Structure 1
Amino acid sequence: MNWPSWQTLRSIALTVALGAAGGLVFTAMGLPAAGMSGAMVAVAAAALGRLPVSLPDPLRDALFVVLGLSMGAGVTPEVVERVSDWPWTMAALLVVVALVTGATFIFLRYAVRWDSEAAYFGAIPGALSFVMALAAERQVDLARIAASQSTRLLILIVVLPLFITSTASHPPHGLERDVLPTLLQMAILFALCIGASFVAVRVGVPGGWMTGAFFMSSALNASGVIPVALPEFVLIPCYIGLGCFIGSRFSSTSLTVFLRIIKASMGAVAVGLCVSTMIALVVSTVLGLPFGQLLLAYAPGGLEVMTLLAFMMDLDPAFVAAHQLVRYIGMVLLLPFATRFFLGSR
């Protein structure tokens, strides 16, 4: 076994320290997803300043396993049971994902002149950590992917939530706390998810470290065998670690190139939001559902954040959670095959 050098350890320590500091600053500012977005900004700034920031692949893979496990918490029996209640809006969700991806890909590929792989991964709406896992395996230009995906994420989970909550005329509702598994259940949960990740990687499933853990934890949570919920002292470091990983991808990017990427990414976000908004308006008019509820359900944001916004706006949180869940599961199921179909194997 080759132990990391002192230089590597110092680089990891610097990266984690910067990420933690960025997360603390964003938390103090009251921003949503503060751990991940704060760490991403801090480490990206350091990378652009040519500081030695990096995270080794084994640590990255461990983060993907824990994040995949944690995402299974959204697959509750209640949400799964209610998915069949909204067939027409679910069908529209498929149209949203397809049109947003296609329109954004065309913009990035032909208007901005990105290469096919960067445009493809940059166009995928949401599922940031899973998209990064797939892109990392194919050794794509992760700086472009991170900029495109993170700009979208930043707008949706920082700017949009702040705007909606600041204009809400009613107090927010409190979210129910998840039931944490016992220590024995936690040990079994981690053992099964790690095993599933190893199997997924061994058989060549793209993004296997995250995909295997996600499907194992989803099955356990949806069936009620083991409640899937991790305490914040486990999740927050993982979110910071993911932000560090994304931010460190900018090490090979100059400030000029970075600004150019951000400009292109802002255009891609505008294209995607226009498509989502138009479809939400049409579905709202035809079915008589609240426009805001549909927009939250179709927005390529995180399940937890979009559901929280539904609570704050007195909209149906189960509706939003179910649509976000179906979108994510569908992407996890189809993206590996779609990636091979459109980009070929590597």
Structure 2
Amino acid sequence: MPRALPLASTPFPALAQWACLILCAGLAGQLFSALHLPAALFLGPMLVAIAFGVAGATIRLPKILFQLGQGTVGLMIAHAMSLSVLLMALQEWHVMLLGTVLTVMLSALVGVVLVRYAGIPSHTAALGTSPGAASAMVGMAEDYGADPRVVATMQYVRVVLVVMFGALVSHWLGASVGGATGHASTSHAASLDLSNVGLSLAVIGTGVFLGLRLPAGALLVPLLLGTVLQLSGVLEISLPSWLIPFAYGAVGCYVGLRFDRQTVLYVWRHLPMMALASLLLILMCAVSAWLISLAMDKDYLSVYLATSPGGLDSMAIIAIDTHSDVGFVLAMQTLRLFGVIFTGSFLARQVMRWSEKRS
């Protein structure tokens, strides 16, 4: 059993923890940016927050900050949306449906593997390997007899691995990095029009409020509102340059701080198998993305991000930062998000049934 770290045995005051977290997260984001890693301002804070959480930090990022960060990312995506992008996404609906079904089926297969070889209960394995909608799966855990702590750990271990591999794949494929910087500079140039800045911030706040009860609503509702207002000519989306690192950092720190020491210790025995299962799912999704990219004659990175079993907000951040096909990534991730939510209980029953037959 791992020894307690100093932070866990003699916790610092909350104010000192916040100061250290903000400083270290900012430095990590800047370091990763200097190394030209995709989504550096998101990846750096997330890894720092994981270290703080596992070390025993007692602070937790207020959920409203996480939701406002999601809303900002949603409006950034809306900034990249155009009528041509939407039409192209509609034309490729059959490919998106195929990719969604493949990813969901592969996740169910990985769930069966975990039940058979890791001894994890079937409902827990099914919800834990569900590709996306992490918060929804954790919320559904108790209703279906699963352990929410194990489901949460499985979900967020996979999110971390997906983000890290997404950044590495983007780097290996030579994707140009700087989406966030580009948005920030554009926003800074447009910030002279205070009415657009104020309306953009109002869209984020209103969208987050309206989307509180919807799956990923804090991201999707500002995205939809911003897209409609921009396409109708009512709004020219303009965001202050300081808001971009805040949004990325808030999402990254919220995810990272979920890895508290108690949760990690609780699932320590199964953690290697969980990580291996997540890597297996990522690999199978990468192979399916390669086949889809060949069939569609589409760039591999966009298809890889669209089929990756990570969070919608995480993949959207990487897509923006690497100048991938944001519309395609968003459309497929959103389709899978709702597919996972509506089929979660069904898949849990099927995984249990398959596991019992194999036994």
The reply to whether residue 134 of structure 1 matches residue 136 of structure 2 is yes
Q: Do 1:15 and 1:55's aligned partners in 2 also have CA atoms closer than 8 Å?
A: no
Shift of 1:243: 1.6
- C-alpha change, 1:270 and 1:71, in structure 2 (3 Å) is same
Partner of 1:189: 200
Partner of 1:28: 34
Please give the per-residue CA displacement for 1:255-289, whole angstroms capped at 9, x wherever unaligned: 694585255223323234224414643773xx473
Moved more, 235-244 or 180-189: 180-189
Moved more, 65-74 or 299-308: 299-308
Separation in 2, partners of 1:190, 1:132:
26
Counterpart in the other structure of 1:324: 329
In the alignment, structure 1 residue 246 sits paired with structure 2 residue 243: no
User: Following the alignment from structure 2 to structure 1, what is the Cα–Cα distance between the partners of residues 230 and 117?
Assistant: 43
For 2:256, give the aligned amino acid.
G
Aligned 1:30-49 pairs, distance under 5 A:
30-49=36-55
**Residues 87-138 of structure 1, C-alpha deviations (whole Å, 9 max, x = no match):** 5533432333333333333344444344566545543445xxxx34435656
User: The residue matched to 1:250 in structure 2 has which SS?
Assistant: coil
- Once the 2 structures are TM-superposed, how far is the Cα of residue 209 of structure 1 from its aligned partner? 3.2
**Structure 1 residues without counterparts, runs of 5 or longer:** 1-5, 312-316
Give deviations 1:158-207, integer Å, cap 9, x for gaps: x2122222xx9xxx699795554642123223323322332333xx3244
- How far the C-alpha of 1:235 sits from its partner, in A, is 1.3
CA contact 1:19–1:38 (8 Å) conserved in 2: yes
Q: How many residues align?
A: 317
Of the structure 1 ranges 224-233 and 245-254, higher mean CA displacement relative to structure 2 is found in: 224-233
* Matched AA of 2:330: L
Give the distance between the partners of 1:243 and 1:294, measured in 2 at CA.
21
Conserved 8 A contact 2:230-2:237 = yes
Aligned position for 1:62: 68
TM-score normalised according to structure 1 size? 0.73
Letter in 2 for 1:134: A
Residue pairs, 1:120-269, within 5 angstroms: 120=126, 122-125=128-131, 131-134=133-136, 140-141=148-149, 142-157=152-167, 159-165=168-174, 177=182, 180=187, 182-201=193-212, 204-228=213-237, 230-251=239-260, 252-254=262-264, 257=267, 260-261=270-271, 263-269=273-279
In the alignment, the residues of structure 2 paired with residue 230 and residue 262 of structure 1 have an alpha-carbon distance, to the nearest angstrom, of 41
- Please give the alpha-carbon distance, in whole angstroms, between the structure 1 residues aligned to 2:73 and 2:299: 31
What TM-score do the two structures reach when normalised by structure 2? 0.71
How many percent identity over aligned positions? 17
| 2:297 is equivalent to residue 289 of structure 1 | yes
Q: Secondary structure of the residue that 2:242 maps to in structure 1?
A: helix
- The residue identity in structure 2 corresponding to 1:330 is L
Q: Is the 8 A contact 2:316 2:326 kept in 1?
A: yes
| Equivalent-residue separation in structure 2 for 1:207 and 1:39 (angstroms) | 21
CA distance in 2 between counterparts of 1:64 and 1:291 reads: 26
Say if 1:210 and 1:342 are closer, same or farther in 2 by CA, change over 3 A.
farther
What amino acid sits opposite 1:264 in the alignment? M
- Inter-partner Cα distance in structure 2 for 1:9 and 1:94: 43
Hey, what's the Cα distance between the residues in 2 that align with 1:107 and 1:306?
31
**8 Å contact kept, 1:93–1:323:** no
Q: Where in structure 2 are there 5+ consecutive unaligned residues?
A: 1-11, 142-147, 350-359
| C-alpha separation in 2, matches of 1:78 and 1:28 | 34
Query: 2:208 touches 2:221 (CA, 8 Å); kept in 1?
Result: yes
Counterpart contact for 2:29–2:45, Cα < 8 Å: yes
Q: 1:43, CA displacement in angstroms?
A: 2.0
1:294 Cα deviation from its structure 2 partner = 7.4
Pair 153,110 (structure 1): closer, same or farther in 2 beyond 3 Å? farther
Distance 1:76 1:265, change over 3 A: farther
For residue 3 of structure 1, what is the aligned residue in structure 2?
Answer: none
Q: Flag the 1:136–1:58 CA change in 2: closer, same or farther, 3 A.
A: farther
* Map of 2:353 onto structure 1: none
State the distance in 1 between where 2:346 and 2:232 align.
32
What secondary structure sits across from 1:52 in the alignment?
coil
Q: Does 100-109 or 75-84 show the bigger shift?
A: 100-109
> Could you tell me how far apart the structure 1 residues matched to 2:86 and 2:209 are?
27
**Partner-residue secondary structure (3-state), 2:60:** coil
Paired residues of 2:38 and 2:177 also in contact (CA < 8 A): no
1:242/1:290 CA distance change after superposition, 3 Å: closer
CA RMSD between the two structures: 3.8
CA contact (8 A) 2:111 2:126 kept: yes
